[in-house]
Structure 1
Amino acid sequence: MSEPETQDARTSGRRLLGGVAGVLAALAGLGLAEGAAALLSGVTGPFLAVGNRMVDAAPGQLKDFAVEHFGTNDKPVLLGGIAAALLLITLVAGAVGVRRPRVGLGVFAVMSVVATVAMVTDRSATAGTGARLVPAVVLAVASLGGLHLMLAALRGVPAASTPGSTPAERSLDRRRFLLAAGAVTVGAVVGGALTRAYGGLAAAADRAGVRLPRPSTPAPPVPEGVEVGVKGVTPYLTSNADFYRVDTALKVPDVPLDTWTLRVHGMVDKELELTYDDLLARDLVERRITLTCVSNEVGGPYLGNATWLGVPVRELLAEAGVKDGADAVRSRSADDWTAGTPLDRLMDDQDEALVAIAMNGEPLPLKHGFPARLVTPGLYGYVSATKWLTELEVTRFSDFTAYWTNKGYDAQAPIKTSSRIDVPDSFARVKAGRVPVAGVAWSQTRGIEKVEVRIDGGPWQAARLGEADNKNTWRQWVFPWDAEPGNHRIEVRAEDGSGYTQTGARAPIAPDGSTGWHSVTVFVA
């Protein structure tokens, strides 16, 4: 092998090791910073802080795209994308840093600054600025220091006879590199261990210790016949494990009970500040209510029906005393997410909105809002169902905007009358003869009075409805179809209690919910 080829091989090998050094330094910095954040209360680590800032900065159209294409996997996809970008950037920075260390270290410095800004401004953090800066300092020192040590070893020292030699001509200090790489790797492992040991949610232990009182006003028994008895139809009551989750939190907020309060303030005569025990001590009511997310496309999965236990919001507002001129309530979550709800919907004594503390007979699951959340019948969740609830501010719509209205969504968003075919699936193959077509329909606060099905654009035919529970819950339905061989298109529409028939005009989820008839295509053999 010629001398130039040998030098090329050395250069290529050192660049590869430089890339490895960049990745190791980043892992050490992130690991130790995340570990430091786990040891501190109310501090978000750099990885999630950057992700949160990206979520907040993303336009509504990007959110719609993510939910449409990735569903409830949108958060793992985002975090995976951040991780992949970080891997690529640190790999390149380390490789370039072998010959140009200032460039490599400069890239790491810029990333540290970005992470620091994200941590200091993170809306989900509750600690002061000083505490938020601790993991930022750890990140900068560990990542920059680790990269500097490894790059210095890779650049080596010049031979005595060639003091002006280039890095490729210098001898690689292998021992020094291995020691530096080993130390950096230990840092990454220690950081990961700290995060694993202390990064759990303190609220989980609090939730496990909650003993729910009996409701003062229990929900009536579920009527017989709400289920139509068709395999594959969505169950009438959605289990906590299967209930949809759509929110902006990349990590479930940790809200321990000893630091949590619910504040009712704003345009009121008397501010209230309630602890969890205060809520437990009140007269609790139990209601079955179907929730729907505005992200639900026609025929989509983002709705569920549950039994909720809580305090009527109207009672809290009445106790605080609402002042004249108010028309809205801005709710705020523990991670500083906001929603605006029409005041009259929260004061309604027929369609009671709740500050809910339990779901299907158990304390709210952490991912569904423990310790408390809003549950408001008839409105899409982005204006009515704030999780990890900490504030109810009585105000006017003209005086504020909320998280999603800042991104172009309507300020008031009543749920639209809709229906869905659960069985058969689209593109299913079924046998000729009697085939049950079945699903669910919903129109919260109005109820469902009729569901109709049509085949291949023919006449609309009435389906059989399951028994009605209340006007704030969905209804199952079934249509017995005499299926003939061939390809067929099945459509469904619903009529609500006001006499309105669901429109077939297609509209996207933005700015106030999708519309259109759900349809499936099946092959009959």
Structure 2
Amino acid sequence: MDDSRGRWAAAGAVTMVAGLATSYATAMALTIRESPVVAVAELIIRITPGPLAERIIRFVGQLDKPLLIFGIIVFLLAMGALAGILGRNSVIRPILVWLVLAALGAGAVMVQPGARIVDVLPVVVGFVTWVTVLSALVGPLITARHHPELESRERRVFLMVAGVLGLAAVGIAGAGRIVGSGRRHVAESRRLLRLDGVTRPLAPAGTAIGLTGIGSWQTPNDDFYLIHTAISVPTVEPKDWTLRIHGLVDRELTLTYNDLVARELTESWITLNCVSNEVGGGLVGNAWWSGIRIADILAEVGLDPSADCILQTSEDGWNCATPLSTLTDERNAMLAVAMNGKPLPIEHGFPVRTIVPGLYGYVSATKWVVDYEVTRFSDVVAFWTQRGWSEEGPVKIASRIDVPRSGADVTSGEVDVGGLAWAQHTGIDSVEVAIDGGEWMGAQLAETPSDDTWVQWAITVTLDEGEHELRVRATDKDGLEQTGVRRDVVPDGSTGWHTIQVNAT
């Protein structure tokens, strides 16, 4: 066996895998939400500047988090290989590599909201594994270096030890996954949960315009867009959930889940959309939400007249500042416990999240919400606003064309065109379509149960043979006409007319 760097690098890489496996298994066994790799990933997300994060999301879409995890693992494997190579001539240098990586992991874990000293235990286990396994793996390499006559035997020993440790790492990680059944417990609790008063929704009559291809007026839970910063989604049992309301109030209040659901229930259709939704994009959905009005709860605590916002905090530490006026006016802002007639999906904030009609989610829609601090905008800095996004995020009027799709071939003559428009908490008054920059033509609107939902629209136009450009604009019930000026999603949502090209043949 030669003394090439390859075998030492392989020993280091196998060692890294073993340490990651034992660390992950420990985190799962202790039902710690963040394994060290996840904690590092979430720390990277928190410190990434907003414009850079937006560009990454725009480029890779919802693959951003898997790619981040993949990149971290590739980096760690490279560092493991480096530690193995350094072990050729030094016992101390590999340990220094492990110490640096362990320190970074421990630091990422401890800056997580609510972190406890026990949360560092997976890092410690991983570090001990690295030191122990590398020593076991390089033993045959050292022996072969000093005793060339034993090369054949030591090669077999090295391969056997590496293979056994590799398989053991996979087994340990799998066992930790099995033992760490926290999410399964929460999923089972959700499945068995019965919420009195929550009704199963049926889309109101007249909300469908009748044109095939338009996005469904009611968005199924599985199809509803998902945007959050969590790598590992928080799993909170209803019995463990509480909401603390404090700050500029006369009386602090802490609600348990049972306290909350015992209150009068409110239900309504509400459209939500993400501030990152580009013109014509799909980061928008409409659902039947069930919950308890926030205004009624805040009336009980006595609000200081100087307060103008509530700093909402999630179980995973994410936060946003929401204008107090939007939580206390006539709109149906709620602590939602159900979505489309069922307890909230875990990914959408189970057991409780905030819903505020008319605001983008980055300033309002806190999933897994656990804390309301009544405060002032001048006294707080929230997750996205410190990354360059605006302080307040009222939803902008928007419309899109779903039928036909951009680039589609259509038959010349009469062509059906349709889509969706929204201006939550204001409502859509009209939708118009223009062909090749010509005159705007009014479209037919379907019905809506309230101004807090989107509306389907449709129109039949005549297209001659050839290439055509179709654009759409909407006007809200306050008379505000959707602007054609194209603006990026940063700092407070995109603007512009959705425009498509079709070929009539």
User: Which TM bucket (shorter chain)?
Assistant: over 0.9
**1:398 partnered with 2:381:** no
Partner of 1:401, secondary structure, is: coil
- 1:182 shift after superposition: 4.5
Larger deviation, residues 94-103 vs 356-365: 94-103
- Which residue of structure 2 lines up, in the alignment, with residue 311 of structure 1? 292
- 1:470 shift after superposition: 0.8
Aligned 1:193-342 pairs, distance under 5 A:
193-200=174-181, 201=183, 202-215=185-198, 222-342=203-323
Amino acid at match of 1:238: T
Choose the corresponding residue for 1:39, options 10, 29, 46. Answer: 29
- Which residue of structure 2 lines up, in the alignment, with residue 10 of structure 1? 2
The percent identity for this pair of structures is 41
**1:373 partnered with 2:353:** yes
**1:149 partnered with 2:139:** no
- Which residue of structure 1 lines up, in the alignment, with residue 169 of structure 2? 188
Amino acid at match of 2:104: V
Measured in 2, the distance between the counterparts of 1:393 and 1:258 equals: 22
**1:461 partnered with 2:461:** no
Contact 2:51 2:388 in 1 (8 A): no
Larger deviation, residues 242-251 vs 267-276: 267-276
Larger deviation, residues 423-432 vs 495-504: 423-432
Choose the corresponding residue for 2:123, options 136, 142, 158. Answer: 136
Choose the corresponding residue for 1:109, options 99, 108, 114. Answer: 99
Identify if the C-alpha distance between structure 1 residues 257 and 116 changes in structure 2 by more than 3 Å, giving closer, same or farther. Answer: same
- Which residue of structure 2 lines up, in the alignment, with residue 441 of structure 1? 421
- 1:193 shift after superposition: 2.0
Deviations 1:169-210 (CA, angstroms, capped at 9, x unpaired) = 984733542454245325413431233203341321221121
- Which residue of structure 2 lines up, in the alignment, with residue 163 of structure 1? none
Amino acid at match of 1:340: A
Amino acid at match of 1:376: V
TM-score by length of 1: 0.91
Q: What root-mean-square deviation, in Å, do the aligned CA atoms of Structure 1 and Structure 2 show?
A: 2.0
Measured in 1, the distance between the counterparts of 2:201 and 2:339 equals: 16
Partner of 1:439, secondary structure, is: strand
- 1:101 shift after superposition: 5.1
Contact 1:219 1:286 in 2 (8 A): no
- 1:220 shift after superposition: 9.5
- Which residue of structure 1 lines up, in the alignment, with residue 81 of structure 2? 91
- Which residue of structure 1 lines up, in the alignment, with residue 19 of structure 2? 29
- 1:424 shift after superposition: 1.1
Amino acid at match of 2:261: L
TM-score by length of 2: 0.95
Identify if the C-alpha distance between structure 1 residues 275 and 159 changes in structure 2 by more than 3 Å, giving closer, same or farther. Answer: closer
Deviations 1:32-60 (CA, angstroms, capped at 9, x unpaired) = 11111112144521110111111111110
Choose the corresponding residue for 1:486, options 459, 462, 466. Answer: 466
- 1:292 shift after superposition: 0.9
**1:361 partnered with 2:359:** no
- Which residue of structure 1 lines up, in the alignment, with residue 495 of structure 2? 515
Contact 2:203 2:217 in 1 (8 A): no
- 1:104 shift after superposition: 3.8
Contact 1:328 1:340 in 2 (8 A): yes
Measured in 2, the distance between the counterparts of 1:150 and 1:417 equals: 62
Partner of 1:24, secondary structure, is: helix
Amino acid at match of 1:214: G
Identify if the C-alpha distance between structure 1 residues 243 and 43 changes in structure 2 by more than 3 Å, giving closer, same or farther. Answer: closer
Partner of 2:220, secondary structure, is: coil
- 1:20 shift after superposition: 2.1
Measured in 2, the distance between the counterparts of 1:476 and 1:458 equals: 23
- 1:280 shift after superposition: 1.6
Contact 2:30 2:180 in 1 (8 A): no
Amino acid at match of 2:42: N
Partner of 2:489, secondary structure, is: coil
Contact 2:326 2:333 in 1 (8 A): yes
Amino acid at match of 1:211: R
Measured in 1, the distance between the counterparts of 2:451 and 2:3 equals: 73
Measured in 2, the distance between the counterparts of 1:257 and 1:269 equals: 27
Amino acid at match of 2:28: A
- 1:469 shift after superposition: 2.0
Measured in 1, the distance between the counterparts of 2:82 and 2:463 equals: 61
- Which residue of structure 1 lines up, in the alignment, with residue 406 of structure 2? 426
Identify if the C-alpha distance between structure 1 residues 356 and 159 changes in structure 2 by more than 3 Å, giving closer, same or farther. Answer: closer
Contact 1:447 1:471 in 2 (8 A): yes
Contact 2:244 2:370 in 1 (8 A): yes
Measured in 2, the distance between the counterparts of 1:45 and 1:192 equals: 12
Contact 1:159 1:171 in 2 (8 A): no
- 1:254 shift after superposition: 1.2
Aligned length: 502
- 1:326 shift after superposition: 0.8
Measured in 1, the distance between the counterparts of 2:452 and 2:149 equals: 77
